[in-house]
């Protein structure tokens, strides 16, 4: 079992190294295969480990395996160890499973692109980094994985390095993540100062037994929350996620939907002991999640780029996960993470099929009527959209409603506020998702669609063969993973049916006991309300589409939403401009006059001093004789005086 | 009586020394300066004799006044009119500095002597009759100071060669 | 010792040395400079002889003779230089020799 876990961790790394070292000796297709297979081998390892752990009783499910002592500085020691327990196994399966499907998909999507091998190496690197993050046996290894996924994200967002927008987006993502990393590091420093170690057990025991003073616990939890907020693109560190859509679509699916952005949720669940020792911070994370749900949903209502709508949707859904983790419903947080991975990856990949088919077009205003042209894609996209909106019996319904029910069960001001935000979010989700659906698939086919449609009027269930879009909706490597994900999105939620069968919740509970459990009544009550609201949202979207109107009629509101609540502008004015000013000032007042000129000044100064000294050499012999005589006199005086 | 005589001779010789010295540096005509120097050398020889340095006094007259100064006079005669140079000139500070330095050194020596050189010059030692005699000098040159003797001869050789080389007419000069 | 003590001899030597120094720095003709140099050398000779008498050691006189020999050599070379100047039609003026100018 441990061998399976190590295999899971190291296989993608091996794949990445192999592709990197082989360079151009590998063919492009071979690079794709190596990358995909390495991730699937990792999945096999994770599966083996899972099957073994599932057979154990709840108490024994936590395993640590240490390879060697990595860092030893006095009393502070950090080992290279992995932790295999239900939470990490869930993440491992998602990462390698969904990740494997996405990398397989990329083989078709990225075919023929520039520098394909680099892409596949980066994807394998990312999978390894994410696995390191979730399997790390102590906080420092978690941080290592954290930083590496940030790096992989930067590399992959900026993959099309010829485009300045892509490079700017990559920089933005990295910088905002760095803010979070710094907060986390500060929290870790405090933890080392107070407990002397970064091991999970030491830190969590100290937190739960009250060893940490409230202030310390608050600060550490705040640091962790800062990192989580940055990585998961929650308010206020969210502005990088829409820009990250500059990367290739499979990257958006893997990193910015299924895995990396959920790392924040994983962090909170993993370190829940620290958060429980700092309840204010935990509630803060719930509030952040709640607010993000609504804000992101509102912005998604007016976006025209298909990927950006899905990106804001991601932001919103992760808000749900933060909400759950913030009130202590860890099981539901992980459950929503799981189902979200399925349907969000599905939506992104389906969007990718469309974009690939339309030769790179992403503006939905140019799409329309794709229902007839791409029936397979239409079917899977509909499944994903319904799952996202939370329509039973698809997966999103089970997970999202569990969260909303937990909010109701929490009660109090916090609980009821979160309940309202969650229900509102449900309404908005239905609205923006189906606005997108109708704009893309319904109505008359647009010009662009007709252009690309010529030649594939035959409606095949599955497109056959690989090849250009002239032969079908897309190659097999693209359509097959999408199909698998659609199945998962449809039935994946059935592992938690409240009141009847809750194996997944029990699975997670062993690691993180929930602080709040909803009763069955509450569950079904909120479910009804949520589904009703989602239905209203969907109906509203359909009505607006059919009537040819905008969903957000008030133009002032629409402008605010379109500008994403002016967050970018505010940050630019608050941080970017002053920093630029300071930098310019320093350059003009310090760098140029002092540093640069001083170099010139040194030269001129030396020349002038030399010139001055040269005037002593007058060439006049008599003056030399005078000086010599004078020196003799001085020496004589010295000799006499010294005696 | 003997003492008084010695004193008188000494004072006269010293006076002649200093005045001829001043004369050397004040005459415009180099010929006169050279002659004044010969006088200086002669009075110095008298002083040497009074200090029981007979051989040195003899050498002074024979070598210095006899050979070196004669060489000087030869050259001055050869140069003729071209030997006349402006008396002084150049920067003011240089002229002033010359007098200042000279006076400074003079005063310094007087001061050192006045303070009795910390008692270094208190008592004169006794000397024998053969002090300063050629035999004495010769003996020392060939025993204690043999190296100085040999090196001095090499220096003289080098100077002779140098003088010849400087005086040679080079081919380029011939053409010119 | 008959006559003045060593102090007086050394005093006269000092006076002569001062006069010689003044002459070297003051005059512009190389010939006169050489003559002044001779005065300085003789002054040191006088001091040496005086001290030799004071300490009853003939070494001082030996030194004086060596100085005399060296002075002769130096005068020889110096006069050779002056003759070489004249050969090349250079002015016999120390102030014109400024090629050491930096």
Looking at chain A, which residue has its C-alpha nearest residue B118? A643
* Residue among B17, B63, B23 nearest C14 (CA): B17
Average pLDDT (C32-54) is: 93
Which pLDDT belongs to residue A412? 85
* Residue among A106, A113, A108, A132 nearest A35 (CA): A106
* Residue among C72, C35, C42 nearest B156 (CA): C72
Average pLDDT along chain A: 86
List pLDDT tens digits, range A145-164. Answer: 999 999 999 999 999 989 89
Residues of chain C positioned with their CB less than 8 A from the CB of A626: 25
Q: Report residue A339's pLDDT band, with 50, 70 and 90 as the boundaries.
A: very high
Average pLDDT (B69-73) is: 93
Tell whether the model's pLDDT for residue A467 goes beyond 50. no
Which pLDDT belongs to residue B35? 94
Task: Specify the residue for token string 């120094």.
Answer: C21
Which pLDDT belongs to residue B34? 93
DSSP A368-387: --HHHH-HHHHHHHHHHHHH
For residue B164, the number of C-alpha atoms closer than 13 Å in the C-beta half-sphere is 5
Q: Report residue A462's pLDDT band, with 50, 70 and 90 as the boundaries.
A: very low
List pLDDT tens digits, range A304-334. Answer: 899 999 999 999 999 999 999 999 889 899 9
Chains touching chain B at 3 or more Cβ pairs under 8 angstroms?
A, C
Q: Report residue A388's pLDDT band, with 50, 70 and 90 as the boundaries.
A: very high
Average pLDDT (A609-615) is: 84
Q: Report residue B122's pLDDT band, with 50, 70 and 90 as the boundaries.
A: low
Tell whether the model's pLDDT for residue B172 goes beyond 70. no
Torsional sign, CA C73, C78, C81, C87: negative
Residues in chain A: 643
List pLDDT tens digits, range A174-222. Answer: 999 999 999 999 999 998 888 888 888 888 888 888 778 888 889 999 9
Supply the ipTM of this predicted assembly.
Answer: 0.90
Tell whether the model's pLDDT for residue A558 goes beyond 80. no
Q: Report residue A602's pLDDT band, with 50, 70 and 90 as the boundaries.
A: confident
For residue A111, the number of C-alpha atoms closer than 13 Å in the C-beta half-sphere is 19
> Is C59:B54 a contact under the CB 8 Å cutoff?
no
Rounded Cα distance, A550 and A545, in Å: 8
Higher pLDDT, A469 or C82: C82
Residues 42-101 of C with CB under 8 A from B: 42, 45-46, 49-50, 52-56, 58-59, 61-66, 68-77, 79-84, 86-88, 91-93, 95
Tell whether the model's pLDDT for residue B55 goes beyond 90. yes
Which pLDDT belongs to residue A258? 79
Q: What single-letter DSSP state applies at residue A78?
A: E
Rounded Cα distance, C53 and C65, in Å: 15
Looking at chain C, which residue has its C-alpha nearest residue A630? C21
Residues 35-64 of B with CB under 8 A from C: 37, 40-41, 44, 47-48, 50-53, 55-56, 59-60, 63-64
**Closest CB to C101 among A618, A626, A629:** A618
Average pLDDT (A498-517) is: 80
Higher pLDDT, A392 or C17: C17
Which pLDDT belongs to residue C5? 83
* Residue among A419, A631, A430, A386 nearest A541 (CA): A430
Higher pLDDT, B66 or A594: B66
List, in order, residues 6 or more apart from A193 with CB less than 8 Å away: none
Cβ contact A636–B118 (<8 Å): no
> Is A342:A398 a contact under the CB 8 Å cutoff?
no
> In Å, how far are A61, A109, A452, A469, A472 from A476, measured between CA atoms?
39, 10, 19, 11, 10
Task: Specify the residue for token string 């920093």.
Answer: A579
Judge if the upstream peptide bond of residue A236 is cis by omega within 30 degrees of 0.
yes
**Proportion of chain C above pLDDT 90, given as a percent:** 56
Tell whether the model's pLDDT for residue A460 goes beyond 60. no
**DSSP-derived 3-state class of residue A550:** coil
Total CB pairs under 8 A between chain B and C: 259
| Three state DSSP letters for A279-317 | HHHHHHHHHHHHHHHHHHHHHHCCCCEHHHHHHHHHHHH
Rounded Cα distance, A293 and A326, in Å: 14
Highest mean pLDDT among A352-361, A526-535, C62-71: C62-71
Which pLDDT belongs to residue A565? 80
Rounded Cα distance, A216 and A225, in Å: 14
List pLDDT tens digits, range A80-110. Answer: 889 998 999 999 999 999 999 999 999 988 8
Average pLDDT (A593-597) is: 75
Which pLDDT belongs to residue B85? 62
**Closest CB to C94 among A616, A618, A622:** A622
> In this structure, what are the phi and psi dihedrals at residue A633, rounded to the nearest 5 degrees?
-60, -45
Q: Is C57 exposed, middle or buried (0-12, 13-18, 19+ CB in 10 A)?
A: middle
Task: Specify the residue for token string 């002074």.
Answer: B60
Rounded Cα distance, C41 and C17, in Å: 8
Residues 86-105 of B with CB under 8 A from C: 86-90, 94-95, 97-99, 101-103, 105
Tell whether the model's pLDDT for residue A579 goes beyond 50. yes
Tell whether the model's pLDDT for residue A34 goes beyond 50. yes
Which pLDDT belongs to residue A468? 40
Higher pLDDT, A382 or B113: A382
Rounded Cα distance, A255 and A171, in Å: 16
Task: Specify the residue for token string 């002032």.
Answer: A556
Neighbours of B94 (CB within 10 A): 18
* Residue among A252, A448, A452, A246 nearest A365 (CA): A448
* Residue among A394, A403, A262, A380 nearest A332 (CA): A403
For residue A317, the number of C-alpha atoms closer than 13 Å in the C-beta half-sphere is 38
Tell whether the model's pLDDT for residue A139 goes beyond 60. yes
Neighbours of A617 (CB within 10 A): 13
Higher pLDDT, A466 or A526: A526
Higher pLDDT, A443 or B66: B66
Q: Is C19 exposed, middle or buried (0-12, 13-18, 19+ CB in 10 A)?
A: buried
> Is A448:A369 a contact under the CB 8 Å cutoff?
no
Rounded Cα distance, C15 and A51, in Å: 116
Q: Report residue C1's pLDDT band, with 50, 70 and 90 as the boundaries.
A: low
Higher pLDDT, A552 or B106: B106
Task: Specify the residue for token string 């310390």.
Answer: A216
CA torsion angle B75 B77 B80 B85 (round to 10)? 60
Among chain C, residues having any CB pair with chain A shorter than 8 Å are: 21, 24-25, 28, 94-95, 97-102
Torsional sign, CA A439, A442, A444, A448: positive
Q: Report residue A478's pLDDT band, with 50, 70 and 90 as the boundaries.
A: confident
Q: Measured at the alpha carbon of residue A6, what is the angle toward residues A192 and A344, in degrees to the nearest 5? A: 85
Chains touching chain C at 3 or more Cβ pairs under 8 angstroms?
A, B
Higher pLDDT, A262 or B60: B60
**Proportion of chain A above pLDDT 70, given as a percent:** 97
Q: Report residue B155's pLDDT band, with 50, 70 and 90 as the boundaries.
A: very high
Rounded Cα distance, A30 and A510, in Å: 42
> In this structure, what are the phi and psi dihedrals at residue A114, rounded to the nearest 5 degrees?
-70, 140
**Proportion of chain A above pLDDT 90, given as a percent:** 37
């Amino acid at each position: 079992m441990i061998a399976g876990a190590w295999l899971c961790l190291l296989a993608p790394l091996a794949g990445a190294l192999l592709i990197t070292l082989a360079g151009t000796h590998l063919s492009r297709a071979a690079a794709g295969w190596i990358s995909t297979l390495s991730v699937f081998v990792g999945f096999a390892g994770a599966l083996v480990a899972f099957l073994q752990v599932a057979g154990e009783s709840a108490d024994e499910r936590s395993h640590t395996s240490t390879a060697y002592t990595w860092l030893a500085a006095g009393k502070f020691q950090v080992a290279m160890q992995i932790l295999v327990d239900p939470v990490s196994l869930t993440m491992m399966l998602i990462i390698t499973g969904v990740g494997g499907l996405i990398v397989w998909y990329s083989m078709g999507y990225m075919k023929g692109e520039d520098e394909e091998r680099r892409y596949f190496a980066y994807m394998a690197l990312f999978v390894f980094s994410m696995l390191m993050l979730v399997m790390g046996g102590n906080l420092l290894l978690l941080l290592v994985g954290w930083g590496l996924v940030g790096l992989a994200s930067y590399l992959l967002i900026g993959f099309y390095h010829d485009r300045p927008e892509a490079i700017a987006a990559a920089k933005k993502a990295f910088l905002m993540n760095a803010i979070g990393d710094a907060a986390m590091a500060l929290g870790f420093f405090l933890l080392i100062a107070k407990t002397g170690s970064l091991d999970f057990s030491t830190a969590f025991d100290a937190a739960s037994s009250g060893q940490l003073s409230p202030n310390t616990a608050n600060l550490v939890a705040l640091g962790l929350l800062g990192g989580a907020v940055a990585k998961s693109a929650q308010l206020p560190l969210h502005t990088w996620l829409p820009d990250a859509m500059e990367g290739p679509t499979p990257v958006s699916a893997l990193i910015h939907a299924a895995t990396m952005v959920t790392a924040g949720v994983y962090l909170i669940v993993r370190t829940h002991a620290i958060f429980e020792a700092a309840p204010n911070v935990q509630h803060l994370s719930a509030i952040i999640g709640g607010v993000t749900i609504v804000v992101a949903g509102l912005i998604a209502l007016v976006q025209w780029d298909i990927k950006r709508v899905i990106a804001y949707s991601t932001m919103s859904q992760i808000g749900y996960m933060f909400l759950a983790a913030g009130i202590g419903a860890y099981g539901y947080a992980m459950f929503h993470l799981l189902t979200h991975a399925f349907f969000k990856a599905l939506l992104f990949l389906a969007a990718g099929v469309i974009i690939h088919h339309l030769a790179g077009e992403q503006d939905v205003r140019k799409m329309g009527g794709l229902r007839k042209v791409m029936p397979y894609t239409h079917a899977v996209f509909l499944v994903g959209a319904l799952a996202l909106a939370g329509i039973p019996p698809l997966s999103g319904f089970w997970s999202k409603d569990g969260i909303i029910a937990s909010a109701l069960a929490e009660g109090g001001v916090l609980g009821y506020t979160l309940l309202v935000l969650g229900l509102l979010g449900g309404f908005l989700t239905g609205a923006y998702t189906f606005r997108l659906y109708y704009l893309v698939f319904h109505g008359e086919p647009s010009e662009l669609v007709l252009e690309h449609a010529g030649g594939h009027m035959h409606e095949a269930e599955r497109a056959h063969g690989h090849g250009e879009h002239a032969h079908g909706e897309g190659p097999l490597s693209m359509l097959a993973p999408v199909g698998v994900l659609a199945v998962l999105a449809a039935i994946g939620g059935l592992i938690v049916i409240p009141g009847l069968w809750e194996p997944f919740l029990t699975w997670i509970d062993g690691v993180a006991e929930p602080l709040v459990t909803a009763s069955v009544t509450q569950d079904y009550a909120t479910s009804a309300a949520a589904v009703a609201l989602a239905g209203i949202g969907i109906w509203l979207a359909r009505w607006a589409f059919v009537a040819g109107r905008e969903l957000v009629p008030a133009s002032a509101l629409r402008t605010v939403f379109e500008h994403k609540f002016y967050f970018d502008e505010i940050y630019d004015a608050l941080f970017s401009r002053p920093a630029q000013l300071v930098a310019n000032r320093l350059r003009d007042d310090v760098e140029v006059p002092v540093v640069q000129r001083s170099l010139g000044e040194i030269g001129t100064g030396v020349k002038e001093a030399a010139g001055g000294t040269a005037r002593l050499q007058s060439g006049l012999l008599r003056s030399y004789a005078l000086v010599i005589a004078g020196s003799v006199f001085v020496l004589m005086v010295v000799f006499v005086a010294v005696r | 009586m003997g003492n008084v005589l010695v004193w008188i001779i000494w004072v006269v010789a010293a006076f002649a020394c200093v005045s001829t010295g001043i004369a050397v540096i004040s005459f415009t005509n180099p010929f006169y300066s050279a002659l004044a120097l010969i006088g200086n050398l002669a009075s110095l020889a008298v002083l040497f004799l009074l200090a029981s340095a007979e051989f040195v006094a003899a050498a002074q007259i024979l070598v210095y006044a006899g050979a070196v100064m004669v060489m000087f006079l030869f050259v001055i005669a050869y140069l003729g009119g071209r030997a006349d140079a402006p008396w002084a000139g150049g920067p003011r500070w240089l002229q002033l500095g010359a007098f200042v330095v000279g006076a400074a050194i003079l005063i310094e020596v007087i001061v050192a002597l006045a303070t009795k050189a910390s008692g270094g010059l208190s008592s004169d030692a006794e000397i024998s009759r053969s002090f300063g005699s050629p035999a004495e000098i010769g003996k020392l040159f060939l025993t204690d100071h043999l190296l100085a003797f040999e090196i001095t001869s090499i220096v003289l050789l080098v100077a002779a060669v140098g003088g010849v080389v400087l005086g040679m007419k080079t081919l380029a000069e011939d053409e010119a | 010792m008959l006559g003045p003590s060593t102090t007086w001899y050394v005093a006269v030597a000092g006076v002569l040395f001062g006069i010689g120094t003044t002459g070297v720095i003051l005059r512009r003709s190389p010939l006169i400079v050489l003559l002044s140099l001779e005065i300085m050398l003789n002054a040191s000779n006088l001091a040496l002889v005086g001290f030799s008498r004071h300490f009853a050691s003939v070494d001082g006189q030996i030194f004086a003779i060596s100085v005399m020999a060296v002075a002769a050599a130096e005068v020889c070379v110096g006069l050779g230089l002056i003759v070489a100047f004249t050969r090349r039609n250079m002015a016999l003026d120390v102030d014109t020799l400024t090629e050491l100018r930096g």
